[in-house]
Amino acid sequence: MAIATIDPASGLLVKEFEALSPAELDHKLERAAQAFATYRLTTLDERAALLRAAAAVLDREVESVAALMTLEMGKTYTAAKGEVAKCATVLRYYAEHGPSYLADVTGPDTSVGARRSYVTYQPLGPVLAVMPWNYPLWQAMRFAAPALMAGNVGLLKHASNVPQTALYMEQLFASAGFPADVFQTLLIGSATVETVLRDPRVAAATLTGSGPAGQSVAAIAGDVLKPTVLELGGNDPFVVMPSADLERAAAVAVTARCQNNGQSCIAAKRFIVHEAVADQFEQLFAAKLAALTVGDPMRAGTDVGPLATESGREEVEQIVADAVEHGARVLVGGTRPDGPGWFYPPTLITGITREMRLYREEVFGPVASLYRVPDAAAAISLANDSEFGLGSNIWTEDQDEQVRFVRDVQAGMVFINGMSTSYPELPFGGIKSSGFGRELSDLGMHAFMNAKTVWVGA
């Protein structure tokens, strides 16, 4: 895959980049190792100040960075500005809370025969981050903010279709005043990830992306015994029970499915509705989906821009065609518009059966699957009949039902009467084929730290 910016709204090539040569890559890894040797000794106050400075740079540059993301992967400019602001928030969050997450933890004394014992958290070294294009700044930042606060050094291998956003990340940390080479972008293809991961100067890796990419990185990391965090795909359920506020649930369902042009790992993808309210919910949901404006992502008022890649749109079309061939009914959308760019309309499909790809595969586009179930048990069983277990959304006012769904739904995250999203304060991640490990919160920071036990004798 070429490392290039191709505008998804027009399909036109904007700028192409050369991948790093083996010698250039080696030089960058060496510089990362050298940067770590001194950066690990900086104080928490120094690092917190640098994170705050990076947040201030983002505040100043929000418009140009947002326009760059829109150009490279087609998210609406409005959403892109929100993403930049969220990145500034996560930087400030770790600047504020990092020191307490990184403080030594006092252990027992006499019971372990010590004068005192404690756990001290130390950074591991250069961490490789393999990142996807869908939230090009946020995905990379939610790795970078805790990692840099912890004293690690970042090496970003971003998706090949967002090279300019990737280069911006490096420039951002440099202009915030971080020491040279503490955060570097590696313009490399996915085939070179193995070289980086096997390099002894690289201590750990995190990957956000598809299952096959995660399997490959996990296998190599297993071979060389390096810690990894994997944030992979999702096929999140959005369950609507009779006691739910249907109007609100339908409005949130639209956002939950169509945000980021339908290309979010935690987008609600399977709408599982109790049959007592299914007709009403279907009507509300269909009308709201049909009312969305699809078009130029830079224009104010556009709800859904183009899909990020031509192959991504073809994949969505193939999954929808397969469902229709096997008897599913398209209630809204389902056909690409004429004209340039990789647009695909908000789509609602019902009558889905187990043999369809749509039943089991993640659709990375604004396609909602609608299912009807007779009761909570059937809703839980359908929600769990998936290889994925990332987020989940449950709509019910019934307290007992809430407890039951939280207990029984197989997912890393459960949102009751709201939609899945990420907050710096809360752990983010999944189970099953959605990956392992957690990002954000204190857990995200501790993922790449050595919790060193210290025992001091009399």
Distance CA 364, CA 35 (A): 38
Handedness of CA 421, 393, 215, 312 (dihedral sign): negative
Q: Which stretch binds ligand NAP (CB under 6 A): 18-26, 68-76, 89-97, 124-132?
A: 124-132
CB of 50 to ligand NAP, least distance (A): 25
Choices 32-40, 53-61, 132-140, 333-341 (CB under 6 A): range interacting with ligand NAP: 132-140
CA distance to 63, 87, 91, 173, per residue, from 138 (Å): 15, 6, 11, 14
Indicate the residue type of 314.
Answer: E
Q: Is 258 designated active site?
A: no
Stretch that binds ligand NAP, among 78-86, 94-102, 105-113, 213-221 (CB under 6 A): 213-221
When asked if residue 402 is in the footprint of ligand NAP (CB under 6 A), the reply is no
Task: Please select the residue that binds ligand NAP; options are 50, 54, 130, 370, rule is CB under 6 A.
Answer: 130
> Which residue, 189 or 340, is less far from ligand NAP as judged by CB?
189
- Region near ligand NAP per CB under 6 A, out of 144-152, 186-194, 240-248, 326-334: 186-194
Q: Which stretch binds ligand NAP (CB under 6 A): 41-49, 51-59, 126-134, 368-376?
A: 126-134
Give, as ranges, the residues between 357 and 376 that touch ligand NAP (CB under 6 A).
362, 364
Residue 6: C-alpha distances to residues 11, 219, 260 (Å): 6, 31, 17
Cβ at position 366, least distance to ligand NAP in Å: 14
User: Is there binding between residue 137 and ligand NAP (CB under 6 A)?
Assistant: no
Q: Which of 170, 231, 315, 361 is catalytic?
A: 231
Sheet holding 153-157, edge to edge: 183-185, 153-157, 126-130, 204-208, 228-231, 435-436
Read off the tokens for 304: 């859904």
DSSP character for 18? Answer: P
Residues in the chain: 458
Q: What is the CA radius of gyration of the chain?
A: 23
In the complex with ligand NAP, the residue whose CB is nearer, 145 or 390, is 390
* Active site annotation includes 231: yes
Between 159 and 284, CB nearer to ligand NAP: 159
Question: Which residue, 244 or 440, has its beta carbon nearer to ligand NAP?
Answer: 440
Cβ-based neighbours of 286, under 8 Å, separated by 6 or more: 331, 332, 348
Residue of 91, 128, 202, 217 that binds ligand NAP (CB under 6 A): 217
Helix and strand totals (H; E) in the chain: 14, 20
d(CA 291, CA 445): 41
End-to-end CA distance of the chain: 61
**Interface mask (CB under 6 A) for ligand NAP, residues 373-392, using x and -?**
-----------------x--
DSSP H helical segments within 2-76, as ranges? 22-39, 44-73
Task: Rule CB under 6 A: choose which of 10, 190, 243, 421 binds ligand NAP.
Answer: 190
* Nearest by Cα to 295 from 286, 284, 306, 287: 306
Residue 72 has a CB neighbour count (10 Å cut-off) of 26
Of the residues 83, 258, 265, 361, only one is catalytic, namely: 265
Residue 212's Cβ-count burial label (10 Å; 0-12, 13-18, 19+) is exposed
Which span (205-213, 296-304, 315-323, 346-354) binds ligand NAP, by CB under 6 A?
A: 205-213
Site for ligand NAP in 421-440 (CB under 6 A): 430, 434-435
Least distance (Å) from ligand NAP to the CB of residue 208? 5
Q: What share of the chain is helix, strand, coil (3-state, %, to 5)?
A: 45, 20, 35
Q: Are 130 and 207 in contact (CB under 8 A)?
A: yes
Q: How far is the CB of 197 from ligand NAP (least distance, A)?
A: 8
Closest CB to ligand NAP: residue number: 209
Which residues in this chain contact ligand NAP in the complex, by CB under 6 A?
A: 1, 130-134, 139, 157-160, 189-190, 193, 208-210, 212-213, 216-217, 231-234, 265, 362, 364, 390, 430, 434-435
Residues annotated catalytic, as ranges: 231, 265
